[in-house]
Amino acid sequence: MTEAAIDTINGVIRYPAPWNLTGKGYIILYRFPKDFTMAQGLIPTFLSTSFTGGLGAVMLVDYTESNVGPYGELLFIPGKFHFRGKKLHCITKIYVSTRESVENGWENWAIPKELADFRFTRPTNKKRREKVVVTKDNEPIIDVVIQHGRLPFPIHTKLIPFPLLQEKDGKLYYTCFTGKGTARFSRIEDISVNPGLFPDIAPYRPLMAVRIDNFAITFPPSHVTDM
């Protein structure tokens, strides 16, 4: 009796959607100026005339469990795009810490993940402060210190939805992920960004930042259509 062949993508095991992930992390909301977004937002060509502003976001997440195991993630969403009658978001820059996440993210949802190294550290004498450093080939991408408050409150993507639109090989991938967790208001104490590797968000003040614990998120299969 022969073993069934393992389905792979570029040498890693294929893990189709849906994915269920848990962990902790930060959602930092912005309203980026249009000139910054057009210059540094890495907007894909098919959306170059569709930017309408609205809420953008930077997310830093430490997934402790997922379909492909634990991994770190840093992503940038510039804001909303009005495309074919819908208001949608697009992840234009994203780093993760494992090849399994890179390959499957592109395969499942056309999310253009790149590989990087992540370090989440919390000083023992300052329990509500965390330092996150992301690097690629030993070159810094982002170095940020975030302090969070004490009072927890529930949070759900129903309050701040981010329906995604990505493109791959002439196909459009529409994805509506859902998530929930326990949040605490946070603030950035210090930040430095390498503008050659990530949009330089450092000069801009966030509208809101939250730390989320007991973070649970589900990424369903995308709805795929032709361009």
Instruction: Go through the domains of the chain in sequence order and give each one's CATH number.
Output: 8-226 (2.40.400.10)
- How large is the average pLDDT for residues 122-145? 89
179 neighbors 116 (Cβ within 8 angstroms) = no
Residue 2's pLDDT is 43
- How large is the average pLDDT for residues 5-32? 93
Residue 56's pLDDT is 96
Residue 158's pLDDT is 79
Structure tokens that stand for 24 in this block? 């902790």
Evaluate the omega torsion of the peptide bond into residue 18 and state whether it is cis, within 30 degrees of 0. Answer: yes
Model confidence pLDDT, tens digit, residues 166-215: 999 999 999 999 999 999 999 999 999 999 999 999 999 999 999 999 99
Q: What share of the chain is helix, strand, coil (3-state, %, to 5)?
A: 10, 55, 40
List, as one string, the DSSP characters of 59-93. Answer: EEEEEEE-TT--EEEEEEE--EEEETTEEEE---E
Residue 84's pLDDT is 94
Model confidence pLDDT, tens digit, residues 139-165: 999 999 999 999 999 999 877 788 999
Residue 125's pLDDT is 63
Structure tokens that stand for 170 in this block? 């002439």
- How large is the average pLDDT for residues 33-45? 95
203-206 long-range contacts, CB within 8 A, separation 24+:
204/30, 204/32, 204/33, 204/36, 206/28, 206/29, 206/30
